[in-house]
């Protein structure tokens, strides 16, 4: 099973940006955490991060042609603004789990809007970096069930 872990703007500066909200662990720490977990589960993970909307759309489309089975996706600020990203995710039909490090429902009103939520198979918010591994685990289960059914 191949999973793409896709991250939007400013995730590359984890540990620097608002550590009281996002924690002190770095983006490199996040990649290590997910890589180790995926290896234990026998899953191949690929990582991509961009601060640019079109690059994220391209990565979603590329995932389809690369035979990616599932996407763990933190669109970050584009969660609240990007119809293009939601359309790309819907268009390729790859099971996608929306992940947010913070509990967005307890933050500013604009952060409570999610364009990706309607096309995601699950949303995980407020579980810190562990939410990414929860998303990997869910995709393993979800894709396994889908393939059996």
- Residues with catalytic annotation? 22, 100
- For 29, other C-beta atoms within 10 Å of its C-beta total 14
Residue 98: strand pairing partners:
73, 123
> H or E stretch including 23?
none
CB 11 within 8 A of CB 55: no
Angular region, 139: left φ>0, alpha ψ -120 to 50, beta rest: alpha
């Amino acid at each position: 099973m191949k999973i793409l872990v896709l991250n939007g703007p400013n995730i590359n500066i984890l540990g620097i940006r608002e550590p009281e909200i996002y924690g002190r662990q770095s983006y490199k720490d996040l990649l290590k955490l997910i890589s180790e977990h995926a290896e234990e589960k026998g899953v191949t993970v690929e990582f991509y991060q961009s601060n640019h909307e079109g690059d994220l759309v391209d990565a979603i489309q590329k995932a389809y042609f690369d035979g990616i089975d599932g996407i763990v996706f933190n669109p970050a600020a584009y969660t609240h603004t990007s119809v293009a990203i939601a359309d790309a995710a819907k268009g390729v039909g790859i099971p996608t789990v929306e992940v947010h490090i913070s509990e967005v429902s307890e933050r500013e009103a604009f952060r409570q809007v999610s364009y990706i939520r309607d096309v995601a198979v699950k949303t995980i918010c407020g579980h810190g970096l562990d939410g990414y591994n929860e998303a990997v685990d869910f995709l393993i289960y979800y894709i396994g069930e889908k393939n059996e059914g």
